[in-house]
């Protein structure tokens, strides 16, 4: 009878059948299964599922996020396999038989220092590596698509950047194009092969601009300009959602955007600038933030002697001089 058979089919009359020799045998068998499965499943995942992992590759930061997710999964999968293989193996090989003795007992049940140290060391190395990897990915040029505040540290290397302002209000996003006369529209259209600077702000409560497929996500705070960058590299449509609970219609605060060719964008922008010209003249001058006051969004804080929520003062009231 082989060592494996001895360990796997130990009889009730022989509770000490699990000898150190048997364990060594199990150990190498577990490692072999783990290595083979990891070597098969990791490449399978990376090459088959990896290209389809969200958020896709519509922008450089989206592609970066997809790459990061794939790396994380490739590292996590062998760890997952190690645990599952060991658990399943243990259940199959060392299960207790009805009425029999404990299959693993005495010295074998008190743990294994080598395995414990090895597990702690290996997981520590993995976590430290991921910390370094994640930090590097976060700070590479242009950042990772997240809002960087009003003074971004990680700016893109591109010399031509298209600024677009994202304005959140309860309950929709609007977009201003300062390089096209400052028109404001419900539509978010951006050109391909272009670095976009999103300037995100709010007219009321805190919202969050989340252009999912672009991998851009930046909080929209009143009185604050939150900057995020992304470089487009693929045509298509994307979804914009508010990802900060902002009131009763928060769930309905979404719209679609599109990445189009540069020539299509130019045509659309010029046409929209012309079409909206009457209303653009009525908008406040382009600014990075707009502070709602008793007379709308034309700038200025609430003066001390005006209650912004008073019916008398709010509706049609003139701001006292110096109050804006």
Partner 1 sequence: MSLAWKVTVTVVLFAVCAAAGVILIVALLGTPPTVDYTAQSPGGAVNVALQTVGTYGSGSHASWVSYLVRSPQGQWVHTTNFQVPAHTRINVTIYQYDSGSPLRNQQTGLVTGTYGNAALLNGKTFQVINSNAGNGVAHTFSIPSLGINVPLYANNGNANLCGAAPCTLKSPHNIIRFSFTSPGSGNYRWQCFVPCGLGFLFGNGGPMSTLGYMGGFMKVVA
Chain contacts with partner 1 (rule: CB under 8 A): 167, 169-172, 174, 184-186, 203-205, 247-249, 252, 255, 276, 278-279, 282-284, 292, 295-298, 309-311, 314-316
Instruction: Return the number of the residue (71 or 283) whose C-beta is nearest partner 1.
Output: 283
Q: Shortest approach of partner 1 to residue 286 CB, angstroms?
A: 13
Q: Shortest approach of partner 1 to residue 183 CB, angstroms?
A: 9
Strand order, beta sheet including 226-231 = 183-185, 172-177, 161-169, 195-202, 226-231
Instruction: Return the number of the residue (91 or 248) whose C-beta is nearest partner 1.
Output: 248
First to last CA, the chain: 92
Instruction: Return the number of the residue (116 or 187) whose C-beta is nearest partner 1.
Output: 187
Q: Shortest approach of partner 1 to residue 320 CB, angstroms?
A: 16
Instruction: Return the number of the residue (139 or 239) whose C-beta is nearest partner 1.
Output: 239
Q: Round to whole Å and give the CA distance between 187 and 24.
A: 65
Q: Shortest approach of partner 1 to residue 244 CB, angstroms?
A: 14
Q: Shortest approach of partner 1 to residue 237 CB, angstroms?
A: 15
Instruction: Return the number of the residue (3 or 184) whose C-beta is nearest partner 1.
Output: 184
3-state helix/strand/coil string of the chain: CCHHHHHHCCCCCCCCCCCHHHHHHHHHHHHHHHHHHHHHHHHHHHHHHHHHCCCCCCEHHHHHHHHHHHHHHHHHHHHHHHHHHHHHHHHHHCCCCCCCCCCCCHHHHHCCHHHHHHHHHHHHHHHHHHHHHHHHHHHCCCCCCECCCCCCCCCCCCCCEEEEEEEEECCEEEEEEHHHCCEEECCEEEECCCEEEEEEEECCCCEEEEEHHHCEEEEECECCCEEEEEEECCCEEEEEEECCCCCCCHHHCEEEEEEECHHHHHHHHHHHHHHCHHHHHHCCCCCCCCCCECCECCCCCCCCCCCCCCHHHHCCCCCCCCCC
Q: Shortest approach of partner 1 to residue 63 CB, angstroms?
A: 30
Instruction: Return the number of the residue (68 or 184) whose C-beta is nearest partner 1.
Output: 184
Q: Shortest approach of partner 1 to residue 222 CB, angstroms?
A: 9
Q: Shortest approach of partner 1 to residue 317 CB, angstroms?
A: 8
Q: Round to whole Å and give the CA distance between 16 and 275.
A: 87
Instruction: Return the number of the residue (143 or 181) whose C-beta is nearest partner 1.
Output: 181
Instruction: Return the number of the residue (102 or 307) whose C-beta is nearest partner 1.
Output: 307
């Amino acid at each position: 009878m082989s060592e494996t058979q001895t360990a796997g089919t130990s009889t009730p009359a022989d509770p000490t059948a699990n000898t150190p020799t048997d364990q060594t045998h199990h150990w190498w068998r577990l490692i072999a299964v783990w290595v083979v499965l990891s070597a098969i499943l990791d490449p399978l995942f990376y090459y088959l599922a990896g290209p389809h992992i969200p958020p896709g590759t519509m922008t450089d930061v989206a592609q970066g996020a997809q790459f990061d997710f794939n790396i994380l999964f490739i590292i996590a999968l062998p760890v997952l396999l190690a645990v599952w293989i060991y658990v399943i193996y243990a259940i199959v090989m060392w299960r207790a038989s009805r009425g029999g003795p404990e299959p693993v007992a005495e010295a074998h049940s008190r743990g294994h220092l080598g395995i414990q140290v090895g597990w702690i060391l290996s997981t520590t190395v993995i976590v430290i590596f991921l910390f370094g990897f994640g930090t590097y990915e976060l700070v590479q040029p242009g950042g990772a698509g997240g809002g960087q505040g009003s003074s971004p540290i990680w700016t893109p290397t591109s010399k031509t950047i298209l600024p677009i302002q994202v304005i959140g209000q309860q309950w929709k996003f609007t977009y201003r194009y300062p390089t096209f006369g400052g028109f404001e529209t419900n539509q978010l259209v951006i050109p391909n092969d272009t670095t976009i600077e999103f300037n995100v702000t709010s007219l009321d409560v805190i919202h969050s601009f989340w252009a999912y497929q672009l991998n851009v996500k930046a909080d929209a705070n009143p009185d604050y300009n939150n900057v995020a960058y992304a470089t487009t590299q693929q045509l298509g449509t994307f979804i914009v959602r508010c990802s900060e609970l902002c009131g009763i219609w928060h769930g309905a605060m979404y719209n679609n955007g599109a990445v189009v060719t540069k020539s299509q964008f130019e045509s659309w922008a010029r046409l929209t600038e012309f079409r909206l010209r009457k209303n653009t003249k009525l908008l406040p001058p382009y600014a990075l933030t707009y502070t709602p006051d008793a007379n709308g969004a034309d700038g200025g804080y609430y003066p001390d002697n005006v209650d912004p929520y008073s019916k008398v003062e709010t509706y049609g009231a003139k701001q006292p001089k110096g109050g804006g």
